[in-house]
A and B are shown apart, each in its own frame.
Chain A
Amino acid sequence: MDAILLQILNGLDKGGAYALIALGLTIIFGTLGVVNFAHGALFMMGAFCAVSIKALFTLEKVVLDPTKLTAWGTPMEIRTPYIESWFGDVGVWMIDYSVPLSILLAIPVMLFIGVAMERGLIRYFYKRPHAEQILVTFGLAIVIQELVKSQFGANPIPQPAPDTAKGMLDFGVMIGFDAGNVVYPAWRLIYFLFSTLVIAGVFAFLQFTTFGMVVRAGMADRETVGLLGIDIDRKFTIVFGLAAVVAGLAGVMYTPILSPDYHMGMDFLVLSFVVVVVGGMGSLGGAVVAGFLLGILQSLASMEEVKQILPGIDQIIIYLIAVVVLLARPRGLMGRKGMMEG
C-alpha cells in the first residue's frame, strides 16, 4: 500500500507537467484549430529560461588573492558572483532561488514568443489542412531545438532546487503512516501544487473573466462571435501567448526534477499529444484529468512488481492506453461531439 501510494505521488509531478502541456495544446486546438507540434519546444524554452537566469545570476567576478596559495603555488582565485557582491545576502538568496525567480522572466518571454509565433507563422495556417499545420510546426520545433542546442550545448544542465526544497518530505507521517515509509522529494510536491495552481488559474481565467467568456464563445462558434463585432483574432493571439506561458511555466519549474536538455521538448510533446487524445481533443478538463491519470499509471507501471509480471510495460503503457482509448472511445475520455470527429 505504501509503495503504491508512493508511486501515485511520483506520478503526480510528471502528470502535472503532462497536464500543463496538454492544457496548452488543447486551448490552442480548441480556439485556433491548429495542431501545434512546436508546443514541446515551448516547454523546453521555458526550462531554458531557468537555465539562462541561473547563468546570469552566477556570472562571477574573479579576484586573485596573493595571500592565499593553491596547491600549485599560484595565487588563489576568489570567485564571487557579481550579484552577491552587489546585493549581499539578498544576492545569495536570489542564486539559491533562481528557479522560482525564473518564472518572473519566463512569463513575459514566453508571452512574447507565443504571440510572435502566432502572428508570424501560425495564423497563415488556419485555412491550410491539418497535415500541413503538423508539418510546419514540426519543422519549427526542430529549428528551435537546434538553436537551443547550438547555444547551450547538447548536454543536460542540472538546475538545483532551492535549499529549503531540496530535502525529502516524510509524506507518510502527515497522513498517518509510520515514519520513513512514504518519503518524497519536497520539490516534486511543490511542482504538483504549482501545476494545480496554474491549472486552476487558467480555468478561473476562462470561466470568470469577460475575456475568458469571449474565448469560450469563440471556441464554441468562432463565426458568430466575429459577427457580433468582436475581434476574435486578436483575442486568440493572446490565447496562444497564454498557452505558451503555461507551457513555459511547466518547463521552468520542472528543471530541478529533470535537467533540461535540447530534446526534452520532443520527449514530452509526443506524450502530451497522447494525453490530449486520451483526454479528448478540445476538452480542457479531459486534458488535465488524462495528464494526471497517465502520469500516475506510468509510475505505477514502473514498479518492480508490475515489471516482473509484464516486462517492459513501463515503456509502453502510455501508448498502449492511447491505442485502447482511441479504439474503444475515439472521442477521448471527455471529448466533445463534433471536435475532429472521424
Chain B
Amino acid sequence: MVAIIKKQSDLVLLLCFAAAVLAGPVILQPFGAGYPDLLQKFAIFGIFAIGFNILFGLTGYLSFGHAAFLGIGSYTAVWTFKLLSMNPLPAVLLATLLGGLFAALIGFISLRRTGIYFSILTLAFAQMSYNLAYSVLTPITNGETGLQLRQADPRVLDVAFGRDYGAVLPSSDLFGIDMTGYPGFYFCAAVLILCFYISMRIFRSPFGMMLRAVKSNQNRMNYTGLNTRPYALAAFVISGMYAGLAGGLLAVTDPLAGAERMQWTASGEVVLMTILGGTGTLLGPVIGAGAIKYFENIFSAFNENILLNTFSFLPETLQHAVVSVASLFVGEGWHLTLGALFMVIVIFLPGGLMEGVRRFGVLFKRKADSDGPTETQPASAE
C-alpha cells in the first residue's frame, strides 16, 4: 500500500517537474530570466548538480574535482562535431561515455581512500587534467584559445549522409533543427527531465539504499561482509557520466571548449549548487543550480549606475555610502556574493534550501494542529 502511494507521489513529482521545466520560459519571464541562453544554463547545470548529488548526497563522498568530467565532456563533444557530425546525439552520447570512462579510472584510484583524502585526491586529479589541458595536450585541447569548430573539419558522417553546410561555420543541429535559442533549451530540458527521472529511480532503488548505507556507516557495512567499494565506484561513475553529459550539452549549445571549465573553482561551484539546494534531495540540486546561475546573471549585470538608480530614494550621502558597499558585491564582485552565500548556507542551513522549506513546513504544521499531539516525524524533504 505504502509502495503504491510512494509510486504515485513520485509520478506526480516527475510530472510537476517536467511541466515546470518545459514551461520554464513562461514561468521565468517575469523574473527577467526567460531567455534561451540562461535557460539552457539552468538545465545544463541542473544536470551537472543532479549527477554530483548522486555521489555526494547519497554516498557522502565529497569530490572536489568534478569539473574535470565536465571539461572532458565538452572536449569530446566538440571533437565529435569536428570529426563525425554536427548532430548533437552522437556528441552527447560520446561525451557521457567518455565522462563515465574517466570517472571509472579516477574513481577506481580515489575511492581507495575516504573523507578528506578522497577530496584531495579528486582535487589533485582535476588539477592534473587542467594543467595537462593547458600544456602538453594542446594538440587535443588547443590550449588557452580553447577548442573551436572550423569550416574545414572532416565531419565524416555528415559527408556520408550528403549534408553540406556550405561556406558558413556550422552550428549543431538535430536533424535540421538548429540547437541554439529555444530549440536548444528544449533539447537540454528533455535531457534534464530524463536525468531527473533516472536519478529518482536511483534514489528509490535498493542500489540507492545501499549508497545511503555507505554514507551512514561504511565500517558497519564492511563488517557485515559487504564490499562497499563497487557501489561507491558505481555512484562515482554515474555522477561522472552526468558531468560528461552536462559538458557535452554545453558544447552543443555553444560549440566551444576551454580548459577553464576544468578548474577547481568550477568544481567548487557545483558543490555549492548542491549544498545550496539541499544535499541528498531530489529537487534541491536543480533548484540550487538554477538559483546560482540566475543570481550570477543578475548580479554580474549590475553596475554602479543601476545601483545609484536603485538607491536614489535615499538621501545623497547615504546613497553613496550604500552604493559603494553594494558595488563590492555586484558586477565583477559577484564571486564575493557567491562566497558569502556559500558561508551563510553552510553555517546556518547545512541542509540547503530544501531543508529551509521543510522547516518552514513543519513550523506551519505545528501551528495548525497545536492542540493535538505534535507529530514529530518530518517528511523527507524532496
User: Given A273-B120, A315-B135, are A143 and B336 also a contact pair (CB < 8 Å)?
Assistant: yes
Q: 1/0 per residue A253-278: CB within 8 Å of B?
A: 00000000000001000100110010
Q: State whether B128 touches A316 (Cβ < 8 A).
A: yes
Summarize B's interface: helix, strand, loop or mixed. Answer: helix
A residues within 8 A CB of B350? 128, 132
Chain B, interface size: which category? 35 or more
Q: Is A202 an interface residue (CB 8 A)?
A: no
Determine how close the nearest CB of chain B comes to the CB of A322; give it in whole angstroms: 5
Q: State whether A330 touches B113 (Cβ < 8 A).
A: yes
Q: Is B15 an interface residue (CB 8 A)?
A: no
Q: State whether A142 touches B127 (Cβ < 8 A).
A: no
> Given A121, A124, A142, A270, which contacts B123 in the complex, CB threshold below 8 Å?
A270
Q: State whether A146 touches B335 (Cβ < 8 A).
A: yes
Determine how close the nearest CB of chain B comes to the CB of A165; give it in whole angstroms: 32
Q: Is A320 an interface residue (CB 8 A)?
A: yes
The answer for the CA separation of A286 and B101 in the assembled complex, in Å, is 35
Q: State whether A277 touches B120 (Cβ < 8 A).
A: yes
The answer for the CA separation of A167 and B145 in the assembled complex, in Å, is 37
Q: Is B257 an interface residue (CB 8 A)?
A: no
B residues within 8 A CB of A312? 131-132, 135-137
User: Given A319-B127, A319-B128, are A134 and B62 also a contact pair (CB < 8 Å)?
Assistant: yes
The answer for the CA separation of A130 and B116 in the assembled complex, in Å, is 7
Q: 1/0 per residue B107-129: CB within 8 Å of A?
A: 00100111111011101110110
A residues within 8 A CB of B232? none
Q: Is A150 an interface residue (CB 8 A)?
A: yes
The answer for the CA separation of A340 and B127 in the assembled complex, in Å, is 23
List B86-120 residues whose CB lies under 8 Å from chain A: 109, 112-117, 119-120
Determine how close the nearest CB of chain A comes to the CB of B142; give it in whole angstroms: 15
A residues within 8 A CB of B277? none
B residues within 8 A CB of A201? none
In the complex formed, the residue of A with least CB distance to B275 is A135
Q: State whether A132 touches B123 (Cβ < 8 A).
A: no
Binds A, one of B28-36, B299-307, B337-345, B374-382: B337-345
Q: State whether B336 touches A136 (Cβ < 8 A).
A: no
Q: 1/0 per residue B268-293: CB within 8 Å of A?
A: 10010001000000000000000000
Q: Is B11 an interface residue (CB 8 A)?
A: no
Q: Is A108 an interface residue (CB 8 A)?
A: no
Q: 1/0 per residue A304-318: CB within 8 Å of B?
A: 000000011001100
Determine how close the nearest CB of chain A comes to the CB of B316; give it in whole angstroms: 23
The answer for the CA separation of A139 and B328 in the assembled complex, in Å, is 16
The answer for the CA separation of A312 and B131 in the assembled complex, in Å, is 8
A residues within 8 A CB of B333? 146, 149-150
B residues within 8 A CB of A311? 136
Q: State whether B342 touches A35 (Cβ < 8 A).
A: no
Q: State whether A124 touches B343 (Cβ < 8 A).
A: no
> Given A136, A139, A143, A277, which contacts B117 in the complex, CB threshold below 8 Å?
A277
The answer for the CA separation of A121 and B348 in the assembled complex, in Å, is 12
Q: State whether B113 touches A138 (Cβ < 8 A).
A: no
Q: State whether B339 touches A131 (Cβ < 8 A).
A: no
Q: State whether B342 touches A135 (Cβ < 8 A).
A: yes
Determine how close the nearest CB of chain A comes to the CB of B148; give it in whole angstroms: 22
Q: Is A342 an interface residue (CB 8 A)?
A: yes
27 chain-A/chain-B pairs, Cβ below 8 angstroms: A128-B350, A130-B115, A131-B60, A131-B62, A131-B119, A132-B346, A139-B339, A139-B346, A142-B335, A145-B335, A146-B335, A150-B332, A273-B123, A274-B124, A277-B120, A312-B132, A312-B136, A312-B137, A315-B136, A316-B131, A319-B125, A323-B121, A323-B124, A326-B112, A327-B109, A342-B115, A342-B117
Closest 4 pairs between A and B when the two form their complex, measured CB to CB: A142-B339, A312-B136, A139-B342, A146-B336
